[in-house]
Amino acid sequence: MPRVGSALLLPDNRDSVIPIELQVALKGHQSQPTCGARVQLVPQTLKRNERIRRRPEYLRIQKNGIRTHGRYLTLLILPNDLSRSRLGVTASRRLGGAVLRNRIKRLARELFRRTKSSVGLDVVVLPRREFLNTDYASLESDYRSTLARHGRRQR
């Protein structure tokens, strides 16, 4: 793949560029930097207590949570009694095959991980079809603005 600065061009000829650091985080394995020095990367995954894992939890959030719509995703947000926020992702089959749905989930987890709040919230991400056709910077901007809009509505 052709390199552009510290990023790789996407193979499907889109104009967006994903930084090397984000690619490594999304792939979840060690990578060799371009300068030749070996670097041991620390896994940057969500801990078990930072994920919404059970169906009853999803149903509770879906029933009682507040929907906040963004351009590329919808967030279902419900305050929890914990000191940390938790994430769940709902990627239905209408978004595409398993490979695409898994990529969507990886991107959503990375958005959450990079913008964690100290407030105890349960956040469920419902991505739209345009989610995959958008560069990461736009996704992050949309995610942050949607969270901010939810925060303004709560006051």
Residue ranges matching CATH 3.30.230.10 in the chain: 48-154
**Nearest Cα to Cα of residue 124 among 43, 81, 68:** 68
The β-bridge partners of 19 are 7
Q: Using a cut of 0.85, tell me whether the model's pTM lies above it.
A: no
In CATH, the number for domain 48-154 is 3.30.230.10
Is the pLDDT score of 126 beyond 80?
yes
What confidence tens digit (pLDDT) does each residue in 1-26 have? 455 544 444 455 444 556 666 665 55
pLDDT of the residue at 151: 77
C-alpha span between 141 and 146 (Å, rounded)? 8
CB distance 77 to 65 below 8 Å = yes
Is the pLDDT score of 103 beyond 70?
yes
